[in-house]
Each structure stands twice: as structure tokens, then as C-alpha cells.
Amino acid sequence: MYMLSLNLGYESSNLGHLLGVREFMHKFGYRTSAGTWVVSTTDQQLLTVAGFIGLGSAAIATGILSDLLGRRKTILLGCVLCFGGIFLQFFSQSIMMLFGGKILSGLGYGLGHSIGPVFVAEIAPVRFRGVCLSIINVTITLGQWCNALAIYFCQNLSSGMAWRIPVVTQVLFPTVLLFIGIPFLPESPSWLVFKGKIDEAAKSLCLFNGNDYDTDKAIAILQTALEEAKQSEETKAIIYGNITLLHTLIQGTNRRRTLLSCMGFACQQLIGASFMAGYVVYFFVLAGVSNPFGMGQMVYSFELLGNMCSWPLIERVGRRRILLSGMIFMTTTLLITGCVSLNKGQAGLKAMVSLMTIWAFVYQMTAGAVVFAIAGETPSPRLRQKSFALNVTTANFLATVVQLLLPYLINTDEANLGGKVAFVFFGPSVPCCIYLYFCLPEMKGRNVAEIEEMYRKKLPARKFEGYKCEVATVEDKISKEFEA
């Protein structure tokens, strides 16, 4: 289930890493008057836009395809598209061939990434839901690290294989999913209940939770949540077949839920996630770090460690405290990093690299992990897939804007800001912290019916944690009926 998220992490960081590979620069770049090789800013932007087109189109299509075909068949289609995009990039002879390959590959892993968190939110037990959703970010980070390792071991090859091998290596992820994962992957219980296939939903729940699992109770809770969402004012929109119109997401209490889901991913981009994920090695090259690829490995190892540290915290400490404290810390670190970069000496460079590593660790422990839990828990069951598709589109759009601007900000033949780029991300991160303080509720330990009730009653964000839901009484009643 997590394989296409690995593919997303690998592919999304690939361009930034390849820009530090000599053979790639000689193939697709040009030599400047200073004697250095660079890929033109226009070509970098073109390849960045390719990812936006692929991932954005996939996010929009997923909301429709997964409701019509089911989660499983949509993932299968994503694997097939990944194969086509990867091999087109491998045989590329021009920027335009890379452009086409990245679009096709983006469509593939985009389908998987758009549906993966929704699938996990639908099948994971409540007490493990936050951890299971945070693991998605682990796989994205692991994919980025795998790409950095592939680049590290191939960078000194004297042929085109120095960049072609890192491109084709990512075919491993959809291959494993296609031939090992999908044959044993059951359909989503929530989707089956939504389609009225109760018996199949019960079988699917047993596969995920064991034969002793109380499927009747779980299905009753799902049906209660779906019925509440169906009857609420905000979901009484025009419906064609089984496709709820997109404007349902911005009606009534759904507007609040959709905004919160999207803002989580928006905060990731506005605080600098795309820069750290895709351009950190290239930045180290431009900054004059003696071993940029080695330093990149160190950063990714700290990111992975940070994400693993979030696992025991996310269900004990809660989403709100982790995300808010992490955002405040990272915002402060950005300000300090920008100030330190004003020192042009070796000491300033070392301090800047250290601060970026600390930032990466805290990001993965907080915003990187928790946002997936928030995005999976916040939408109503009927709108979860469409909401997450909108989340991915929002994050992808902002990531693309950031990555289009980054070459102008850090390239030596452009603004050449160096570490002062931290000031650029510090600006928008401040209002992000303010928004999260007033608008982010705590949903730790809540089932779908309880979350539905709290949003329907329009509780202030800071009152979610201590609120006693009426639906909990209904759940106890259901349990007693089944026990009798």
C-alpha cells in the first residue's frame, strides 16, 4: 500500500539530485562563462511543471475513478502508468522526452499518493490510525533517501548511466506493488459499505483485523457516519449517479473541514518542505559544501529518524500539540538560519548546515507526519477521497510555485541568495502558525461518527479534545445489542 508513496518520494527528489550529477548536466545543460555547468532555469521549470501536471491531474481523476472503480483498481492503474513514465525518462534524449516521462510517471504515483492516505484512514483501527497515516510520510522520506543513495553510488560513472540508473531504479516500487501487493490487497471496507456490499465489507474488515474482529459493530458505525453525512445540510448537493459535485466540499461545515485539510499540506510547502526534499543536495553544491551528496545522506537519515520519533507521540501527545509546537520551532529556526547565513565564513556554513539538519529532523517528527493524519481524519466519510484529491492538488500547486521560484533564488547565475533563502520561507510560516493555533482541533482517539458530530455542532477547535460525544452513547448501545 505504501509502495507508490515510496515512488512519490523518489521521483519528487530526483530532479534536485540529478542537478548535482556531472553527466546529467553535460547531457541537458550548458557551460557558463564562469566554467560551471548548469541546466537552464527555463528547463528546470519545465521539468517541475511536468510533475505538477501529472500529480495534479491524477489528484483530480482519483476522486472520480476511486469512487467508480474502487481503491484497488485505481492503484493498479497507477502502477501501469508509472512503468510507462519511468522507461520514457530512462531513454530520454532531450528535455521534452524527460518532460513527457515525468508527466506520465506523475499520473501514476499521483493516483497512488492521492488514494493511499484515504485507504489507510478507512482500514486502520482508531488507536493506530495516526501512526498508520504518519508512516506514509516515512515512505516518502525513504523514497527520497533511496534516490539520494542511488545518485551517491552512480554519480562518478563516466557514462549516461550515472543519471539513467537512478531514474530506472524506481521501477522497483510499482513492480513490488503490482506483483506482490495488489494480488493480496482487499477492497476498502468503507467503499464497499458506501456501495451497499455489506458482506464483502465484512470479509475485508476480517482480513485487516483478524477473524475475531466485531465486523457488525464496525459496519454499524460506518453506516451511522455515512448516514449522518448523507442527511446533513452540506451534503444535500446535486448528485449525478454516485459522484458528489465538488462544490459540496465548500458548503456548510465541510468548508471548515476542507480548509483545514488543505491548510495542513499548504503549511508544509510554505515552510520549505519542497526545498528540503528536492533541492537540499543541489543547494549544498552551490554553497560549496565539500561533500554535498554525503551531507545529503546525513540529512535524510535525520529525517527518517525524526519521522520514526513521531510514532509513539502522535497517539499520546496528539496532533494539535505536535504540529503547532513543531511549526513554531521550525519558524524560529528559519529566522536563525537566515541570520547565520549572513556570515560568509566557514563557521557560518557549518552552522547553516547544522540548522538545516535540525530543521529537517523536527519537520519530519511534526508537520511531515501529522499532516497526513489530519488530512485522513478531518473530511466526512462520503467526501474523504474528493477532499484528499483537493489536498494533493493544493500541495502540488504550492510545491510547483516554490520549485519554479527556487532556481531564480539559489542559482549562481540568478539571485544567488544562498542561506538567505530561509528568510523567504520565514515570512509565510508566521501566519501559518497563527492559523493552526486558532483553527486546528484535536481528533486523537475519535472514530468517524464522533468526528462527524463535533463538526456538525460547530465546536471551536480548542474544545474538541475535552468534548463528550453523544454518538459514543449510541456506539455503546450498538455494542450491547451485539453482545446480547
Cα 384 from Cα 135, distance rounded (Å): 19
Angle between helices 319-340 and 421-439 (to 10 degrees): 160
Amino acid identity, residue 65?
A: L
The boundaries of the domain holding residue 112 are 3-198+237-445
* Whether 421 contacts 405, CB under 8 Å: no
Q: In this predicted model, what pLDDT tens digit does every residue of 275-295 receive, in sequence order?
A: 776 667 766 776 677 777 777
Give helix then strand counts, H and E, for the chain.
22, 4
Whether 171 is covered by a domain: the verdict is: yes
- pLDDT reported for residue 340: 86
Cell of 163: 543519471
Tell me the C-alpha distance between 1 and 243, whole Å. 25
More confident residue, 200 or 241: 200
Q: Is the pLDDT of residue 161 over 60?
A: yes
Contact status, residue 423 vs residue 338, Cβ threshold 8 Å: yes
Q: 264-274: buried (b, 16+ CB within 10 Å) or exposed (e) per residue?
A: bbbbbbbbbbb
Q: What does the DSSP 8-state code read for residue 38?
A: E
CA-nearest of 383, 377, 389, 369 to 111 is 389
pLDDT at 347 over 70: yes
Domain count, the chain: 1
Percent of residues, the chain, with pLDDT higher than 90: 16
Residue 390 amino acid letter: L
- The whole-number pLDDT of residue 89 equals 93
- 352 pLDDT tier (thresholds 50, 70, 90): confident
Can you tell me whether residue 257 is helix, strand or coil?
Answer: helix
- What does the mean pLDDT of the chain come to? 81
10 in a domain, yes or no?
Answer: yes
The pLDDT of residue 465 is above 80: yes
Q: Are 422 and 338 in contact (CB under 8 A)?
A: yes
Please give the helix or strand (H or E) that residue 114 lies within, else none. helix 95-123
Stretch among 177-186, 225-234, 391-400, 431-440 having the lowest mean pLDDT: 225-234
pLDDT at res. 484? 44
- With CA atoms as reference, report the closest residue to 101 among 140, 62, 53, 145: 53
- 450 found inside a domain: no
Task: Give me the mean pLDDT over the 188-198 stretch.
Answer: 80
Q: Stretch 170-181: mean pLDDT, rounded?
A: 87
SS (H, E, C) 272-306: CHHHHHHCHHHHHHHHCCCCHHHHHHHHHHHHHHH
Q: Return the pLDDT at 418.
A: 73
Q: For residues 182-187, give the mean pLDDT.
A: 80
> Is residue 274 domain-resident?
yes
CATH code, 176: 1.20.1250.20
Residue 341 near residue 419, CB atoms below 8 Å:
yes
How far does Cα 377 stand from its chain's mean position? 15
> 478 in a domain, yes or no?
no
pLDDT reported for residue 329:
96
Please indicate, yes or no, if residue 213 is contained in any of the structural domains: no
Q: Is the pLDDT of residue 236 over 50?
A: no
Task: Quote the Cα angle for 357-362-363, to 5°.
Answer: 95
Task: Say if 211 falls within a structural domain.
Answer: no
d(CA 198, CA 273): 41
Gap between the Cα atoms of 192 and 381, Å rounded: 12
CB 257 within 8 A of CB 455: yes
Cα–Cα distance measured from residue 105 to residue 78, given in angstroms and rounded to the nearest whole number: 9
End-to-end alpha carbon distance in the chain: 37
Task: Give the type of residue at 373.
Answer: A
Q: How far apart (Å, rounded) are the C-alpha atoms in residues 168 and 291?
A: 25
| Residue 273 zone, left/alpha/beta (φ > 0; ψ -120 to 50; rest) | alpha
Nearest alpha-carbon partner for 268 in 354, 337, 364: 364
> Does residue 241 register a pLDDT over 70?
no
**CA distances to 25, 29, 90, 151, 285 from 36, in Å:** 10, 10, 25, 20, 11
Mean pLDDT, to the nearest integer, of 149-163? 88
pTM assigned to the model = 0.72
Which cell is 245 given?
459535485
- Give the per-residue pLDDT at 246: 59
pLDDT tens sequence across 358-414: 888 999 899 988 888 888 888 877 777 778 778 888 888 888 888 788 778 877 667
Residue 480: pLDDT band (50, 70, 90) is: very low
Read off the C-alpha cell for 318.
496528539
pLDDT in the model for residue 235: 46
Which residue, among 431, 483, 484, 477, has the nearest Cα to 221 in the 3D structure?
477
Does residue 205 lie in a domain region?
no
